[in-house]
Copies of this chain bind each other. A is one copy, B any other.
């Protein structure tokens, strides 16, 4: 028998990565499938992650001058029709509202009150926000106009996976308008840097910033920039994108302004987003065969204290001791809790592991007596186990959380580097994927012009992921993707 006879999650990542992913979500109690086709229920432990993401990122947007607002959930078909390229991208997966009431019939309730013009539930809001901007923007004095909306959108996906691809999902969608093309480009790059900083510093994962190839651009965009990450199965995940929309939507929506020299011009717009999908990425980058591993700065609970009760009479005393420590940790800004549930200690321990709580603290009779705690880090597990005096622990806890963060971020960086393979020819690509290797292949962009590339991409279900900035746009990443 090896060091670890069993894992908390079955199957393991190696045995069946997609099924492992579903089981991690279930074991961590983050989400579940709903009775509504393709829609998930985000359970409190999963939703708290999304709330934390919003609470961190929203002030960054406000500092950058972005204002939150709210635009209608429904979009008239006539709005979508204005922008041909855009509608091509979304028409195949729209939830369409056609009636406005229900009527009883012998077959139960049926739709009634047919609408003259149907609506779609927004798959994205360029057209409806563009329409508003056409009223709000008159002069260069009204620019830049920076708007953001946190909300739900819907794309009728055929094959869904919790967090990664669901019919309804949550995101923030930013929509900015500028006087010049340079301003719009700069905006896309600035926001992309904010995304990278956010993913690095809070979700503890890395990726490649780069430009999308024309085929992978957002429908209607002049240029799409992306932050692409690599999951533990070697597939890429587009964690966030920014789109330079040029004058596409300002022309179709009529966003015109009087310039500083008094002529009328169409504004230059951008749009940009990350979504609940990033949570899926976080799971696939950090999780292990024992379950979820929460990056400490986004974790709903950073520290859990388990009272190890052998002698029931000590129970109250140990819990009071634990609660005092939690109060101290909270006063220092950490999220901590005592697990007081009526469950066996090993079950609580495994629950904390499966939920990925960064620090697990055990307090038993001996710890109580010695005023000390036993601490285990989730990221490196048993080997990190140490006993500290309470005062020392309270003093070091934030530092330990930062160590967990750094370890996870570095592991993600190492993984990215070790699973990005340089190639120079088409056969480098086909050989790599024929052998079921795990990772992405990076090749010179000149290969994109080779007619034979398409057949290889098709054979192995590949796509171009991005042309990384770090290679000066001279190389392109190719791989399988979520």
Contact = CB atoms under 8 A, between A and B. Distances in A.
B109 A91 contact: yes
Contacts of A399: none
From A32, A101, A128, A131, residue with most partner B Cβ within 10 Å: A101
Contacts of A131: 35
A449 B42 CA distance: 47
5 contacts: A34-B128, A44-B67, A91-B103, A95-B99, A96-B101
B74 A156 contact: no
Nearest to A48: B68
A36 interface: yes
Given A39-B74, A95-B74, A120 B147 contact: no
Nearest to A79: B35
A337 interface: no
Contact of A72 (B43, B69, B113, B168): B168
A101 B111 contact: no
Contacts of A81: 108-109
A41 interface: yes
A132 interface: yes
**Which one of A40, A51, A111 has the highest number of Cβ atoms from chain B below 10 Å of its Cβ?**
A111
B108 A70 contact: no
Interface string A41-81: 11110011011000000000000000111111111111111
Nearest to A95: B97
Contacts of A36: 72, 74-76, 119, 128
Nearest to A116: B37
Given A77-B109, A102-B87, A41 B71 contact: yes
A51 B81 CA distance: 33
Contact of A102 (B50, B68, B80): B80
Interface in A92-106: 92-104
A170 B69 CA distance: 12
In the A-B complex, the 6 residue pairs with the closest CB atoms:
A44-B67, A39-B72, A96-B99, A42-B70, A36-B72, A91-B102
Contacts of A41: 69-72, 132
Contacts of A252: none
B108 A73 contact: no
A65 B418 CA distance: 45
Chain B CB within 10 Å, residue with most, of A34, A36, A111, A131: A36
Contacts of A34: 71-72, 128, 132
Contacts of A381: none
